[in-house]
Amino acid sequence: MAKTKLRQREPNGRPQRERETPPAQVRRLREAALAGLRDPQWGTELGRLLLTKAIDEAMYAAGRRWNEDAAKYRHVIGIRAVKSPSAEQGVLGHDPDPDSAEGAEIAEIERRAISRFEAALKSLSLAGRTAERVVRSVCEADEAACGWEREALIHGLVRLQVHYGLTPRRKSVVR
């Protein structure tokens, strides 16, 4: 006799459907993250999209990596947020002389950061202007993507996912 797995049933007799994460729980988790009680990544728009399963883990990782690369790029070229406290502190010091050993090392790190960002930007631009704009607004400025923008965001994140090598590799079949 074959054993069948019994599933719970709804009051109407149908098998119980898989339940998604309740929206109230997602909202509470996000508010806790914003309050500093949980990991701050869940307080971001990208984290919220992962929690609501609008994007998968690989897209989330690509978005986070894009944000890190963009932040390093902005730092290297000297762009600071308008409301940044570091912009109000005045002169923060001088960079070491590029001819010194320390200065040459810093210059090389900065060159690599610029080339990494430019390569990722080139890959993202292949997804189209809308995807590029939406990815930048969601990942860098933490703005929400609604409606058709969400599809452009997904398209852009998939492009970045491929660029960063975050795609799942298929197992090769041995014959």
Q: Report, in this order, helix, strand and coil percent for the chain, each rounded to 5.
A: 55, 0, 40
- What's the confidence (pLDDT) of residue 171? 47
How many Å apart are CA 156 and CA 163, to the nearest integer? 11
Helices 57-77, 101-125: crossing angle, 10 deg rounding: 130
pLDDT tens for 51-89 read: 888 999 999 999 999 999 999 999 998 887 655 555 444
91-94: list long-range contacts, CB under 8 Å, 24+ apart. none
Name the CA radius of gyration of the chain, rounded.
22
DSSP tag of 53: T
Q: Which two tokens stand for residue 123?
A: 């890959």
- What's the confidence (pLDDT) of residue 65? 96
Exposure of 11 in the CB half-sphere (CA atoms within 13 A):
0
pLDDT tens for 106-138 read: 888 899 999 999 999 999 999 999 999 999 999
> Taking residues 164-175, what's their average pLDDT?
64
Q: What Å distances lie between residue 148 and 3, 45, 144, 151, CA to CA?
A: 46, 16, 12, 5
Q: Which two tokens stand for residue 13?
A: 């007799």
> Taking residues 139-153, what's their average pLDDT?
91
Paired with 9 in beta bridges are 15
Helix, coil or strand: residue 79 = coil
